[in-house]
Amino acid sequence: MMNTNNQKKKLFWSILIILLFLILTISIEGIAYLFYKLGKLRPVDKKDLAAIVNSTPKETFEQKPIYIPHPYFGSVYTPNNHFVQGTPVSYYMESNSEGFVDNEFPSEKREGICIYGLLGGSAAMSWGVHKREDRISYQLETLLNTSAMNDKCKEYRVLNMAIGGHIQYQATQIYLYYQSLLDGVIFYNGNNEGSHATILTTELPVQFSKTDFNSLIKIDSPLKYEISALRQELSITANFLLMNPYLLNSYFVEFLYGVYFKNKLQKIDKINRKLMQSSYKSPQIKGKEFQELRQLFLKVDPAGYWFFFSIIPNFSEAVIRKVIPIVYTQPLINAFAVANVRHIKFLSIIQPMSGAMSRKPGWGEAHYPNPVPVFQKVVNQILIEESKKLETYGIKTYNLNNINLFDQAREDIFTDGTHLTAEGNRIVANYLFKLIKEKWLYTDKNL
């Protein structure tokens, strides 16, 4: 009888524990589901997992550097290379034999083919989308070949001549180098030129582009092996989830893995920044004016610059006003002068910036960190003022921040406040296509 009672008690407690466990599990799942519906929980995407698995960990320190020095442009992507765009999603990009993220450039001009160049920084290059078909250059080329062919232009080619980190100064050098190949040129800039004041926090000459200089010299640092070990760990975990997809049916499990991947990728970024900061010794800036400016930034690293800007915006604005004429206005004037002499069509575009748009569509709260909306607003205002100066040289500037271009978009077209999604690139390409038809194809006037 006693044994029977003990068995009943054990059964009771066993059932109670199981029920409590089920209630706790259901509650946790319910909370995780609620966070998911509120947009606070980002699902683990199978494409992201596959990209992590396919990113061979050994390539962290064995692959070719992303950038290499160039005698005229400062730097280009390592030719004939494939490299990872970065976190949080690692997609590969491929460079051609001349160091640009595009198919091979034509070796010479041919009758019946009109060649346009798109130049600028990472936004012009369409950093953030992993398919060539989603980039501005390709979409613009497709529109031209579909709806703009004529007796002179029986075929179009839009060359993606942009490099991440480049400013108008480098874009002008690239244009001058390839000018004999081009029938038209589109400069697409703004954000890098404004943030270029951060170059004063380093010893780089003010005209240098903000390139990953560690990639230029490829130091065999132990930090690279630490990054490799982390990527190896990520790859194993991602492969495990791909082999056991049923685990992702749980919102809570998905939440845990999401936190895991986020923390690991942030750690990789942190180590990579440390690697970059410890690897390059550059020439000193020359010129008394910039030496004096640079003295004000000696104790502020590039990351801390944005915090510094938020504290003393008027001071930082004064620095930006000193830098932009050198790295944006004057190089653009030089490029336009050459275009006029060579009768090359010319467009100057100020890129869209999340913090600079005059009126944002109703997309709700941004899903990406954007710590510098005030900075972009100030930069846009300075660029507007510089555009008025450019008008005296005959240069018309088209500012994509002031025309409500993205009202037709159903959701946020920014990936990080500066770079665009495939949909954002499509909208920009359509706008450029309309400008080209109006200014280049239906008139002989070179604008």
Coil, strand or helix at 189? strand
pLDDT tier at 121, thresholds 50, 70, 90: very high
* 284 pLDDT above the threshold of 60: no
Higher pLDDT residue, 306 or 390?
A: 390
209, pLDDT greater than 80: no
- pLDDT tens-digit map of 414-444: 888 889 999 999 999 999 999 999 999 876 4
Portion of the chain with pLDDT greater than 90, in percent: 35
Mean pLDDT for all residues in the chain: 78
- Comparing 111-115, 184-188, 374-378, the range with the smallest average pLDDT is 374-378
- Residue 172 confidence (pLDDT): 96
**Residue 61 confidence class, pLDDT cut points 50, 70, 90:** very low
* Cα distance between residue 15 and residue 28, in whole Å: 20
Per DSSP, helices labelled H in 38-157 are 46-54, 59-62, 122-125, 136-147
Tell me what the mean pLDDT of segment 2-23 comes to.
65
Cis peptide before 222 (omega within 30 of 0): no
Query: Who contacts 59 (Cβ-Cβ below 8 Å, separation ≥6)?
Result: 84
Q: How would residue 269 be classed by pLDDT, with cut points 50, 70 and 90?
A: confident
The per-residue pLDDT for 352 is 94
Share of the chain above pLDDT 70, in %: 62
Q: Is the pLDDT of residue 305 over 70?
A: no
CA-CA distance, 97 to 103, in Å (whole number)?
9
The reported pLDDT for the residue numbered 95 is: 92
| DSSP, residue by residue, 212-227 | -HHHHH----HHHHHH
pLDDT of residue 447: 38
- pLDDT at residue 146 tops 90: yes
Does 358 have pLDDT greater than 70? no
pLDDT given for residue 385 in this prediction? 96
106: its two tokens:
């034509």
Mean pLDDT in residue range 209-218: 51
Please report the pLDDT score of residue 445 as a whole number: 45
Residue 104 pLDDT exceeds 50: yes
For range 138-144, the mean pLDDT? 97
Residue, of 313 and 135, whose pLDDT is higher? 135
Q: What is the pTM of this model?
A: 0.70
Residue 93 confidence (pLDDT): 83
Find out whether 36 and 216 touch, Cβ atoms under 8 Å: no
Residue-level pLDDT at 389: 96
